Chains A and B, each alone.
Chain A
Amino acid sequence: MTSKTLNIEAPALDFGEHWEYAPAPEGTKVEIAARYGAFINGEFVKGHGRKRLATVNPATEETLSEVLIANPKDIDDAVAAARAALPKWKRLKPQERAKYLFRIARRIQERARELAVLETLDNGKPIKESRDVDIPEAAKHFFYHAGWADKLDYVFPGRKARPVGVCAQIIPWNFPFLMAAWKIAPAIACGNTVVLKPAETTPLTALRLAEIFQEVGLPPGVVNIVPGDGTTGAALAAHPGCQKLAFTGSTAVGKELARINAGNSKRLTLELGGKSPHIIFNDASLDAAVEGVVQGIFFNQGHVCCAGSRLFVQEDVLPEVQQLLRARLHNLRVGDPLDKNTDLGAINSASQLATIQHYLKQGVAEGASLQQIKTKLPKKGYWCAPTWFEGVQPAHVIAREEIFGPVLSVMSFRTPEEALTRANNTPYGLAAGIWSDKGARIFDIAAKLKAGVVWCNTYNRFDATSPFGGYKQSGFGREGGRHGLLPYLELS
């Protein structure tokens, strides 16, 4: 059968402003202090660092608060507190440790609305996502790991499990609260103590989590939170008092951290970047596939390490997929992150926006065709319209490097072998998506994709019970599930 040619004379669908949705803003009554220090040994302290950084609302460019840049002395204090808390915490009855995690989870649920609004203010992500994804998922991680706390001796049969010690954890700005939960929950469930550094541009919700630790009476020093910039992260990563370093962020920084810790006995897990592929076969449900691709790249403005940023479509359905993609993208609503109808919020920072714009220019210079939906972007703040490139070649820089923004590269393939070769031809290997109605094909392709997570006929589905992590330059170590306990346990 010949491939279907679409009638180009058929008028395109019109998604104008007819029956426009009125603004539906979420209330913003959330208290934010003018200044924040660090959370060390169960207390909020001013800190020794003299420098502060302004954390801004990326949708308005207004400064929300001035936050301490923790210096090496602050890190010494935090590590000392974690070290001092360790003996009691690891010997505490596991059932008692579990109770603290349960209490944290329930308190997160009780304060969910406040946390969601604060996350949206500090990060720029739509309230729809902070409310429905970030905060509920964070609570789930504490609930899930509470369940493990008293069963650790049965996780790996025949082996005795002990905590690793003091864990240094450095998290990124794309899911500030959720990443704090991903890191802290397994660590303390396993009997470790923690020094966590939130990202430079998004420290507020992690500090709110510290309030929750106080509320539930978590013993002082079990979790310490030290805000700051790259210098703070470097001091924490290099600190000899930590037995483990867990990092989520860019591949460049991950490599640097590995270098810093080369030759010592510190355990390291890295969850880094990605350039994850979607493969749409011609027997897929195209409506479902397009929806999945859209969610896969435009969720959280594309600030997702496993964002499906490379799309490979079997050539005979490419025109149809492009048509559906265009129609779907014209319905994405970009703007005020606090509006409940907003699908894409603000880019997290001026520097990230500059990075994205650099790649857009590069894509055009390389000869790809830039497509953007027409949308009125707010004057203030950092914004990028949903973008896709057509006519992309696998050798283009935009098809190889992580952009970390709402930018999709659309490419085609003819045979399944070609799809596989192209999908795997990347230094990364975090996630992949397969779209096909044929079970045999799904199993075949999934087994041959070099990616830590392969989603079939869905994308970006997460669960605390399911391990997440990468291959190659996307890092090593897993988070979530039974596998996610391993980095926080010594087995004997």
Chain B
Amino acid sequence: MGMNSSKHESGRPVDPVALEQRAASFCTRSLKKETKAQGLRLVVAMTDLTTLEGSDSPEKVRSLCRKALCPDPSIPNLPQVAAVCVYPKWVALAKECVGDSGVRVASVASAFPSGQVALETKLADVREAVAQGADEIDMVLQRGAFLSGNFQEVEDEIRAIKDACESAHLKVILETGELGSMDAIAKASHLAMNAGADFIKTSTGKIQPAATMPVTLLMLEAIRSHYLAGGGMIGMKPAGGIRAAKEALHYLVMVKETLGNAWMTPEWFRFGASSLLNDVLRQLQRLESGRYAAQYDVTET
């Protein structure tokens, strides 16, 4: 057992009341003018533009990728998003659409969203996505084993999937809405980081509650503690439920004031979202034009 899995780091109790209060304090920051404009652009650049529906079609994937490359032609100097996030079936098509633009293709895998299949099936799922060209794999933590206390099994599974990822980055989705307590979320965060996660991610988006500020703060604090203990940098991705630009800016404040500058890039922080991007674009249009944009002023995918 290394220093990173010491009792102090993973067994530290969490105070949910204090978390809520601290998370709320970030929302009192007042972001104006250039700060707001820069922040909104950063949110765009940090977005994992996502579609994870049973009804996804080739056309849907194509339009998602187009939007990822050029979210809004009417806004000057707008960055492209960080990644598109799709099911393994659509990885090849997405890869073809984004080409060598720098937009990455992330695929959910490992029997998303429940993870309720045998490890071999999960590994096959992951290998398939990687073979199709996925740059990033978003796996789901095995909640069944975790909640029953079989932590070794969970850790072994993450390690096996990490191996199957080869050079692809691994994001571990904790599905915090199913873990039952803040203490469990802290434990799962440390377990995933110690088992090789490049990113830890709150939710699949299929379970409520998905990402919240207190839960994200807790995971950022876990990343900080891992980092300060010499474990290196780990990325963070809140996903599901973040729909308003203003809310996303509060998340950025939280990252800035918890982990500092190094995490304020798409390399280390992502928003997993589908409808957030359009609200951000409307806000940016307003900063450009001085008037509030209508729903139809931005494109739906």
Residues of A whose CB lies within 8 Å of any CB of B are: 1, 4, 6-7, 9-10, 13-16, 18-24, 128, 132, 283-288, 291-292, 317, 320, 323-324, 327, 331, 340-341, 437, 457-458
Contacts and interface: CB of A to CB of B under 8 A. Distances in A.
A15 B256 CA distance: 7
Interface of B: 3, 6-9, 12-15, 17-19, 21-22, 28-36, 38-39, 42, 221, 224, 227-230, 252, 256-257, 259-262, 264
B261 A457 contact: no
Contacts of A15: 256-257, 260-261
Contacts of A10: 227-230
Given A18-B256, A19-B252, A457-B15, 13 more contacts: A4-B9, A6-B230, A7-B230, A18-B264, A19-B38, A19-B39, A19-B42, A285-B18, A288-B14, A288-B19, A324-B228, A341-B29, A457-B18
Contacts of A327: 224, 260
Contacts, number: 104
A21 B35 contact: yes
A18 B229 contact: no
A340 B36 CA distance: 15
B17 A1 contact: no
Contacts of B229: 4, 6-7, 10
A422 to B, nearest CB: 23
B264 A285 contact: no
Nearest to A128: B28
B42 to A, nearest CB: 7
Contact of A24 (B30, B42, B261): B30
B31 A21 contact: yes
15 contacts: A1-B7, A4-B9, A7-B3, A9-B230, A13-B224, A14-B260, A18-B256, A19-B261, A21-B31, A22-B34, A24-B31, A24-B32, A288-B14, A288-B19, A437-B15
A294 to B, nearest CB: 10
Contacts of B230: 6-7, 9-10
B43 to A, nearest CB: 11
Nearest to A291: B22
Contacts of A286: 12
Contact of A4 (B8, B14, B33, B42): B8
Nearest to B7: A1
Contacts of B13: 283-285, 437
Nearest to B226: A10
Contacts of A457: 15, 17-18
A21 B29 contact: yes
A324 B22 CA distance: 14
A21 B230 CA distance: 30
A292 B228 CA distance: 20
Given A19-B264, A285-B12, A291 B18 contact: yes
A285 B14 contact: yes
Contact of A287 (B17, B221, B227): B221
A120 to B, nearest CB: 15
Nearest to A438: B13
A462 to B, nearest CB: 15
A288 B224 contact: no
A341 B32 CA distance: 11
Contacts of A7: 3, 228-230
Given A7-B3, A283-B13, A457-B15, A22 B259 contact: no
Contacts of A22: 31-36
Task: Give the 6 A-B residue pairs with the shortest CB-CB distance, closest first.
Answer: A7-B230, A288-B18, A24-B30, A288-B15, A437-B13, A285-B15
Contacts of A287: 14-15, 18, 22, 221
A93 to B, nearest CB: 42
A360 to B, nearest CB: 26
Contact of A317 (B8, B21, B260): B8
Contacts of A283: 13
Contacts of B15: 285, 287-288, 437, 457
A6 B6 contact: no
Contact of A20 (B14, B35, B228): B35
B171 to A, nearest CB: 22
Contacts of B31: 21-22, 24
A323 B228 contact: yes
Nearest to A4: B8
Contacts of B33: 22
A284 B28 CA distance: 27
Contacts of B18: 285, 287-288, 291-292, 457-458
Contact of A14 (B28, B224, B261): B261
User: Interface centre among B13, B22, B256, by most A CB within 10 Å?
Assistant: B13
A4 B30 CA distance: 39
A339 to B, nearest CB: 8
A6 B261 contact: no
A64 B31 CA distance: 29
Contact of A320 (B3, B8, B252, B257): B8
Contacts of B7: 1
Contact of A331 (B3, B38, B257, B262): B257
User: Interface centre among B30, B38, B39, B257, by most A CB within 10 Å?
Assistant: B30
A323 B225 CA distance: 10
A293 B240 CA distance: 33
A340 B21 CA distance: 18
Given A18-B264, A22-B35, A341-B30, A4 B19 contact: no
Given A10-B227, A458-B17, A4 B260 contact: no
A16 B261 contact: yes
Contacts of B259: 13
A333 to B, nearest CB: 9
Contacts of A340: 28-30
B283 to A, nearest CB: 16
A376 B7 CA distance: 39
B256 A19 contact: yes
Nearest to A131: B28
A132 B24 CA distance: 13
A152 B264 CA distance: 58
Contacts of A331: 257
